[in-house]
């Protein structure tokens, strides 16, 4: 299964990607996570990406695409993958399509996680991430009173780009650059919208129901 998750920042892509990828036994490939790992590791890629991420802008396509090409070339991605956060504009989508075609592959399905702006802002304002295992939590919805990860005990942190001003800009970037992907993939007949409101488990259930008809 070759799957893409689209949706605004805070829609729950990372949260759902954990469960969907594990249900389908495919690797979860999150460009945001790979960029953040490079930022923490102080690599050249991380230094470059950080200037864009801190502003809430997209990292240039050239850099992002090269990184995704490398990741998709790895052994574990040959029989399927779940992309979270890529593609994020039509140019990236076109290059992904051509790249897969060269390898005799194609996307099976694009899931759009649908939530309104108010909910997105609430979700991002309370988002916390585990510095050890990368799990995503929410201060209010997960009732997190301490700053420790319930899964591994690691320290939780708030992402720099989840500050209110940066969030506003990321939502504009989403509307301008990423939202056009919805009609792009609808035209290709591989888009399914999923209501991403309500409890996490219910959203996962809806996503799995949407995926099942596309499984070979
Ligand atoms: P969110 O989950 O809130 O949508 P991500 O973790 O996916 O955010 O991305 C964080 C940041 O990483 C983005 O704001 C952007 O700067 C960069 N980034 C992630 N994926 C891409 C991509 N496909 N193209 C360009 N920049 C990206
Ligand atoms: P994205 O990757 O799309 O930016 P995340 O998966 O990081 O989104 O989720 C953003 C925040 O919303 C996190 O704090 C997460 O715990 C929370 N969240 C995700 N799904 C739900 C849900 N169904 N209900 C309530 N909160 C959620």
Which ligand is the nearest neighbour of the Cα of 88?
A: 1
Q: Which residues line ligand 1 (CB under 6 A)?
A: 9-10, 13-14, 31-32, 35, 52-53, 56-59, 64, 85-86, 88, 92, 161, 170
- The answer on whether 212 is annotated among ligand-binding residues is no
**Distance between CA atoms of 21 and 70, rounded to whole angstroms?**
19
Nearest protein CA to atom 23 of ligand 1, as residue: 86
The answer to whether the CB of 103 is under 6 A from ligand 2 is no
Q: What pLDDT score does 216 carry?
A: 72
- This prediction has a pTM of 0.95
From the CA atom positions of the chain, what is the Rg in Å? 17
**Distance between CA atoms of 177 and 50, rounded to whole angstroms?**
19
Which of these, 207, 180, 190, 178, lies nearest to 64 by C-alpha position?
178
> What are the pLDDT digits (tens) for 63-88?
999 999 999 999 999 999 999 999 99
35: burial class by Cβ within 10 Å (0-12, 13-18, 19+)? buried
**Distance between CA atoms of 58 and 77, rounded to whole angstroms?**
24
Nearest protein CA to atom 3 of ligand 1, as residue: 9
Q: Are 181 and 83 in contact (CB under 8 A)?
A: no
**Distance between CA atoms of 58 and 87, rounded to whole angstroms?**
11
- The answer on whether 175 is annotated among ligand-binding residues is no
- Annotated catalytic residue within 28, 71, 123, 127: 127
The answer to whether the CB of 87 is under 6 A from ligand 2 is no
**Distance between CA atoms of 88 and 29, rounded to whole angstroms?**
14
Instruction: Note if 55 is an active site residue.
Output: no
Question: Digits of tens for pLDDT over the chain (216 positions)?
Answer: 999 999 999 999 999 999 999 999 999 999 999 999 999 999 999 999 999 999 999 999 999 999 999 999 999 999 999 999 999 999 999 999 999 999 999 999 999 999 999 999 999 999 999 999 999 999 999 988 889 999 999 999 999 899 888 999 999 999 999 999 999 999 999 999 999 999 999 999 999 999 999 987
* Number of Cβ within a 10 Å radius of residue 32: 19
Q: What pLDDT score does 143 carry?
A: 86
């Amino acid at each position: 299964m070759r799957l893409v998750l689209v949706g605004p920042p805070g829609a729950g892509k990372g949260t759902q990607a954990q469960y969907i990828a594990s249900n389908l036994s495919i690797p979860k490939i999150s460009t945001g996570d790979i960029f953040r790992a490079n930022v923490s590791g102080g690599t050249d890629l991380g230094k470059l990406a950080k200037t864009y991420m801190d502003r809430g802008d997209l990292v240039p396509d050239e850099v992002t695409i090269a990184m995704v090409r490398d990741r998709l070339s790895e052994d574990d991605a040959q029989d399927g993958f779940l992309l979270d956060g890529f593609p994020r504009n039509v140019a990236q989508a076109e290059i992904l399509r051509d790249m897969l075609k060269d390898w005799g592959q194609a996307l099976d399905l694009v899931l759009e996680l649908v939530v309104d702006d108010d909910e997105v802002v609430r979700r991002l304002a309370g988002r916390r991430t585990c510095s050890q295992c990368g799990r995503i939590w929410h201060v209010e919805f997960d009732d997190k009173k301490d700053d420790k990860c319930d899964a591994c005990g690691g320290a939780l942190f708030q992402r720099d780009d989840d500050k209110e001003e940066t969030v506003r800009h990321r939502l504009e970037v989403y509307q301008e650059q990423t939202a056009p992907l919805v009609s792009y993939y609808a035209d290709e007949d591989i888009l399914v919208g999923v209501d991403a409101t309500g409890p996490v488990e219910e959203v996962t259930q809806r996503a799995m129901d949407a995926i099942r008809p596309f499984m070979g």
